[in-house]
Structure 1
Amino acid sequence: MKAVLCKAHGPASDLVLEEVASPVPKRNEVLVQVHAAGVNFPDTLIIQGKYQFQPPLPFSPGGEAAGVVLEVGEKAGPLQVGDRVMALTGWGSFAEQIAVPGYNVMPIPAHMDFATAAAFGMTYGTSTYALTQRGHLQAGETLLVLGASGGVGLAAVEIGKALGARVIAAASSADKLAVAKAAGADELINYSESGLKDEIKRLTGGQGVDVVFDPVGGELFEQAVRGLAWNGRMLVVGFASGQIPQLAVNLTLLKGAAVLGVFWGAFAQRQPADNAANFKQLFAWHAEGKLKPLVSQTYPLADAGAAIEQLAGRKAVGKLVVSVR
């Protein structure tokens, strides 16, 4: 089979497409014929050796896939050959086949195509976990989404609206904000033109926002914390800016605020029943038309490196997908 390989830690331009042996699934694994694979921010880190876990070299990047079950290990669960599935893989999805533990594979609805499924799992899974189990976002509350035109950002906008919140989308350009507006955002902040904290104050009448969803980090983090309402919740989702922020914790004391880490991959493994319930709700919202994943670009397998570069340069809007079949 063909696979995109990282043979040495470095830039995406060093990735190569080669023929490799097909994986042999273990007793607890499912062999999936990959049709499409999602591109996510961890892909930009794992090829540089900068992610929180690191596979041995050489390896194929790609943290999520959608495709068809080819083989099921005897202890891999109830899936059957021929099932259409999505899989959380960590790495390995930029390949024609992948073996995945059965607990990380779930059937996809009949109305969902493979490209959408490959763009769905990590972003919507992360955003739902963040806003429900971590942020406890309630109907009528105000949600601020930073990086609102990216994959997880757009998912957070849509899920916030589905939960009944007022959503303020923040991004770095008018074009990106237009995408967030189309996804349902009520208010917009261009933080390349206006101070984030001042705009939060203006849009909330000085009250602040109840929940902040932050996949960006960097200098925006403290401004967002300062824009929290009393009992506000700050969700630490990621650091797309490349900067891990520092926080003067007296700000949390003064606001009675909470800073909450969001690690969906660990949640999915530690609380599989809760994760399954989240996806039951997500699939229902998708069927109702409340969630409309934006796949802005697709790339052939040979160009997976270019897709990672596009994401690393913060040029992507919505989700990028590698089309394998």
Structure 2
Amino acid sequence: VGLATVDMARALGARVIAAASSAEKREAIARLYAPDAVIAAEPGFREEVKALTGGKGADVIFDPVGGDIFDESTRCIAFGGRLLVVGFASGRIPQLSVNMPLIKGFSVVGVRAGEYGRRFPERGAENIAAIGALAEQGRVRPHIHAVLDLADWREAFAMLERREAVGKVVLRP
């Protein structure tokens, strides 16, 4: 989800600050997706975000991790920004003190693309068509970390559990 988001944001003209959990992933993201900056997804990253934005903070934060990353994000979001909650890969669903959005004027938005498409099928179809057009133009593309035979499914899942995949792990029949 994160790599696709970097690709889409860049295709739409956004300045992108990507965060990743390991040095290997940060190097891969910098090489493959060329965001404006790649930082460590660890406590204290809010200071880097503030420095990279001239103290303003990020206008939009896409958070598939939750936990400590969400907590840090509430402290480096710009006034009037949007914090998009996409998932809880960290395993911890964060709690939000509502004084934070009050003081900083930011919105927290839950993002479930499938549910959005079911509730608003026409707009969902328009979004899919727009993504398809970006793909046809070569402005967004999938990144495949590994392609393995179906018989090697245990290794594929182990890669995911070890969090070493940068991109998708594909199983072929």
TM-score (norm 2): 0.92
| Residue 166 in structure 1 maps to residue 12 in structure 2 | no
Aligned-residue offset at 1:211: 0.4
Aligned match for 2:119, one of 259, 267, 270: 270
| Residue 191 in structure 1 maps to residue 36 in structure 2 | no
Q: Which runs of 5+ in 2 are unaligned?
A: none
Which structure's relative contact order is higher, taking Cα pairs within 8 Å and 6+ residues apart? 1
Which residue identity lines up with residue 40 of structure 2 in the other structure?
A: N
2:131 and 2:154 map into 1 onto residues whose CA distance is 30
SS in 1 for 2:134: helix
| Overall identity of the aligned pairs, in % | 47
| Residue 204 in structure 1 maps to residue 53 in structure 2 | yes
Structure 1 or 2, whichever has the larger Rg, is 1
Aligned to 2:92: 243
1:309 and 1:249 map into 2 onto residues whose CA distance is 38
Aligned to 1:156: 5
Aligned-residue offset at 1:240: 1.1
What does residue range 3-152 of structure 1 map to in structure 2 within 5 Å?
A: 152=1
Structure having the higher helix fraction is: 2
SS in 1 for 2:73: helix
1:166 and 1:287 map into 2 onto residues whose CA distance is 22
Aligned to 2:159: 310
2:164 and 2:128 map into 1 onto residues whose CA distance is 28
2:67 and 2:33 map into 1 onto residues whose CA distance is 25
Deviations 1:50-90 (A, max 9, x none): xxxxxxxxxxxxxxxxxxxxxxxxxxxxxxxxxxxxxxxxx
1:304 and 1:238 map into 2 onto residues whose CA distance is 24
SS in 1 for 2:18: strand
1:199 and 1:173 map into 2 onto residues whose CA distance is 16
Aligned to 1:322: 171
Which residue identity lines up with residue 291 of structure 1 in the other structure?
A: V
SS in 1 for 2:74: helix
Aligned match for 2:68, one of 216, 219, 234: 219
1:267 and 1:191 map into 2 onto residues whose CA distance is 28
The number of residues matched between the two structures is 172
Structure having the higher strand fraction is: 1
Aligned-residue offset at 1:323: 1.0
Aligned to 1:260: 109
Deviations 1:287-320 (A, max 9, x none): 1111121011122223334323322332211111
SS in 2 for 1:277: helix
Which residue identity lines up with residue 262 of structure 1 in the other structure?
A: V
Which residue identity lines up with residue 322 of structure 1 in the other structure?
A: L
2:117 and 2:156 map into 1 onto residues whose CA distance is 26
Q: 4+ residue stretches of structure 1 with deviation over 4 A? A: none
TM-score (norm 1): 0.51
Aligned-residue offset at 1:286: 1.1
Which residue identity lines up with residue 243 of structure 1 in the other structure?
A: R
